[in-house]
């Protein structure tokens, strides 16, 4: 008779489960907080300045450290804690592998998007979209229009990643030309892109959330309108109000210089709309993102040869190393020197390190223990919904993947919602309000890492301006405590969930 290899493994306590989380927070804080960038604060500043005089530590406090190392350090802490709980190293490695397997789809898409950006710039596709965008968009209405157009495209495609990787790139270029701060532009792009990711029936998360919660797809979509519509309207209003501060003669002069540089450096033609339109049509037709983006990158290579006369060897170099703009116009060269498969390696490293951390946290049961503790604190409908929203956000941080942030809370809180007499569509809405929308706000989450690699703006920089992603979870929590739009069921009623 075989012995159960898990007999020696014990369940983690809450304090043990929090040790890796605290380690993650401390390590990441050391990486992203630079002492020289902090405002002076009573008591705090003298303490930090004292620490800065400590050998070795001072260098850390005044350095910009890539987040890969803190993530690897937190993973080591989690692995040591798993060993303490009785897990064998081979089983911990399996946790690493499971986490990495979850991210492989994102890794492959990132590599293809790097190639796509490089070939589309070489083909003149991105310059063409910038030139036409500068002609059509008023500086005052730019942020409003960027968010709204990204919302329309993401709803049609069901993909925030495709939206950011196509029209989002163009908006970053246009915004830079108009003199709009790039964190604001990225915030508007992320807000619009995740509107469709959340609401479109073509989106994978829109289908995943009701499946996990036990709701039906279209009742889930209809139920989300109550939190999504006011959040998006408020976000659009904020983009319109803030956008009124940009424009003027200086902005128009900069636009003229950039437009002239783009026209001198590239052959601009309406035919260059074919690659992005082809990608959008393929995604709307339900072709998976990876082959659609690969075909888009291939079209970019063909158009670079036909329209810009780029040699084949140069196209291959651009596909790997990225495009280097040499128009002589500083603003244009800064906008267009980017892309290539190699530009994605740093982001892929972040994803792999973070998924190793999430994998060992889930496999060892520490993630589940933390979620159970949060659930035990929930009191009433408002507390339960707030606990669900908070757990989704926490998993996006600790087990940094959007799908885990939907599946784990959905699996754990389904019974609690049933016992509280709440329809499963309330749970599925919460999973999207926080699980889907907070994922691009975390730099080491696969979604945040993708947006950083694609848009070139660090997630902490655009976080304060991703208004839709910030407002929606707050409105969802408000509804939980007020009871607005919360649907209840009675045992035996159609749609009532099982309490198992």
Boundary residue ending a domain (290, 317, 345): 345
In a domain, 22, yes or no: yes
| Interval 327-353 mean pLDDT | 82
| Interval 439-464 mean pLDDT | 90
In a domain, 383, yes or no: yes
| Interval 110-125 mean pLDDT | 90
Model confidence, pTM? 0.76
Residue 118's CB is within 10 A of a number of other CB atoms, namely 31
Are 186 and 261 found together in one domain?
yes
Count Cα neighbours of 162 within 13 Å in the Cβ-side half-sphere.
36
Burial class (CB in 10 A: 0-12, 13-18, 19+), 284: middle
Q: What angle do CA 16, 388, 99 make, to 5 degrees?
A: 55
| Interval 345-361 mean pLDDT | 85
Structural domain containing residue 213: 102-345
Q: Does residue 303 carry a pLDDT above 50?
A: yes
Burial class (CB in 10 A: 0-12, 13-18, 19+), 478: middle
Are 25 and 162 found together in one domain?
no
What pLDDT is recorded for position 32? 58
Are 253 and 337 found together in one domain?
yes
Q: Does residue 500 carry a pLDDT above 50?
A: no
In whole angstroms, give the CA distance from residue 375 to residue 386: 10
Where does the pLDDT of residue 109 fall: very low under 50, low under 70, confident under 90, or very high at 90 and above? confident
Q: Angle formed by the axes of helices 169-178 and 182-199, to 10°?
A: 150
The gap between the terminal CA atoms of the chain, to the nearest Å, is 32
Least confident interval from 4-8, 24-28, 89-93, 392-396: 4-8
Are 340 and 376 found together in one domain?
no
pLDDT tens column, 179-226: 889 999 999 999 999 998 899 877 888 888 898 888 888 899 999 999
Least confident interval from 87-96, 134-143, 169-178, 298-307: 134-143
Are 208 and 300 found together in one domain?
yes
Q: What angle do CA 355, 359, 365 make, to 5 degrees?
A: 145
In a domain, 414, yes or no: yes
What pLDDT is recorded for position 103? 79
In a domain, 489, yes or no: no
Boundary residue ending a domain (310, 345, 380): 345
Q: Does residue 1 carry a pLDDT above 50?
A: no
Percentage of the residues of the chain whose pLDDT score is greater than 70: 87
pLDDT tens column, 365-381: 898 888 788 878 878 89
In a domain, 310, yes or no: yes
Are 189 and 273 found together in one domain?
yes
**What average pLDDT is seen over the chain?**
84
149 neighbors 276 (Cβ within 8 angstroms) = no
Are 336 and 357 found together in one domain?
no
Are 280 and 228 found together in one domain?
yes
In a domain, 193, yes or no: yes
Q: Does residue 48 carry a pLDDT above 70?
A: no
What pLDDT is recorded for position 499? 35
409 neighbors 431 (Cβ within 8 angstroms) = yes
What pLDDT is recorded for position 493? 53
Are 376 and 293 found together in one domain?
no
Are 374 and 298 found together in one domain?
no
Higher pLDDT, 189 or 110: 189
Boundary residue ending a domain (300, 329, 345): 345
Q: Which two tokens stand for residue 4?
A: 């159960």
In a domain, 450, yes or no: yes
305 neighbors 312 (Cβ within 8 angstroms) = yes
pLDDT tens column, 418-432: 889 999 999 999 999
Q: Does residue 403 carry a pLDDT above 50?
A: yes
Q: How many domains does the chain have?
A: 3
In whole angstroms, give the CA distance from residue 365 to residue 9: 10
Are 38 and 155 found together in one domain?
no
Are 338 and 357 found together in one domain?
no
pLDDT tens column, 68-84: 888 899 899 999 999 99
Count Cα neighbours of 406 within 13 Å in the Cβ-side half-sphere.
24
In a domain, 379, yes or no: yes
Collapse the DSSP code of 420 into the 3-class scheme (helix H, G, I; strand E, B; otherwise coil) and give the result. Answer: coil
């Amino acid at each position: 008779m075989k012995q159960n290899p898990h007999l020696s493994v014990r369940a983690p306590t809450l304090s043990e489960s929090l040790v890796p989380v605290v380690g993650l927070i401390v390590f990441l804080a050391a990486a992203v907080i630079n002492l020289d960038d902090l405002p002076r604060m009573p008591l705090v500043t003298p303490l930090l300045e004292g620490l800065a005089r400590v050998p070795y530590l001072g260098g850390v406090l005044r350095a910009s450290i890539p987040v890969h190392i803190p993530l690897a350090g937190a993973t080591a802490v989690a692995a040591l804690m798993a060993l303490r709980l009785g897990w064998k190293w081979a089983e911990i490695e399996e946790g690493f592998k499971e986490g990495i397997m979850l991210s492989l789809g994102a890794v492959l898409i990132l590599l293809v998007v790097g190639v796509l950006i490089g070939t589309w710039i070489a083909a003149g596709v991105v310059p063409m979209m910038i030139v036409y965008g500068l002609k059509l968009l008023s500086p005052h209405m730019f942020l409003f229009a960027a968010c709204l157009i990204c919302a329309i495209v993401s709803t049609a495609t069901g993909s925030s990643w495709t939206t950011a990787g196509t029209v989002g790139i163009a908006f970053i270029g246009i915004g830079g030309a108009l003199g709009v701060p790039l964190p604001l532009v990225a915030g508007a792009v992320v807000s619009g892109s995740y509107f469709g990711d959340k609401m479109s029936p073509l989106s994978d998360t829109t289908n995943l959330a009701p499946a996990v919660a036990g709701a039906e797809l279209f009742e889930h979509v209809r139920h989300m309108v109550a939190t999504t519509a006011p959040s998006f309207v408020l976000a659009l209003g904020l983009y319109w109000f803030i956008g009124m501060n940009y424009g003027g003669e200086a902005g128009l002069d900069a636009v003229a210089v950039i437009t002239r540089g783009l026209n001198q450096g590239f052959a601009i033609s309406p035919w260059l709309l074919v690659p992005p339109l082809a990608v959008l049509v393929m995604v709307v037709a339900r072709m998976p993102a990876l082959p659609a983006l690969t075909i888009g990158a291939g079209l970019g290579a063909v158009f670079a040869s036909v329209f810009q006369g780029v040699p084949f060897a140069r196209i291959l170099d651009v596909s790997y190393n990225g495009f280097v703009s040499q128009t002589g116009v500083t603003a244009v060269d800064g906008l267009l020197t980017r892309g290539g498969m190699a530009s994605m390696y740093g982001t892929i490293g972040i994803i792999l390190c973070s998924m190793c951390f999430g994998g060992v946290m889930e496999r060892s049961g520490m993630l589940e223990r933390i979620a159970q503790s949060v659930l035990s604190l929930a009191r009433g409908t408002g507390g339960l919904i707030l606990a669900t929203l908070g757990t989704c956000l926490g998993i996006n941080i600790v087990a940094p993947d959007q799908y885990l942030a939907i599946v784990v809370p959905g699996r754990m809180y389904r019974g609690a919602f049933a016992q509280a007499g709440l329809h499963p569509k309330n749970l599925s809405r919460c999973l999207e309000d926080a699980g889907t929308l907070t994922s691009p706000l975390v730099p080491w989450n696969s979604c945040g890492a993708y947006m950083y690699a694609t848009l070139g703006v660090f997630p902490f920089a655009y976080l304060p301006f991703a208004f839709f992603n910030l407002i929606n979870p707050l409105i969802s929590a408000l509804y939980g405590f007020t009871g607005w739009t919360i649907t209840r069921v009675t045992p035996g009623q159609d749609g009532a969930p099982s309490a198992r």
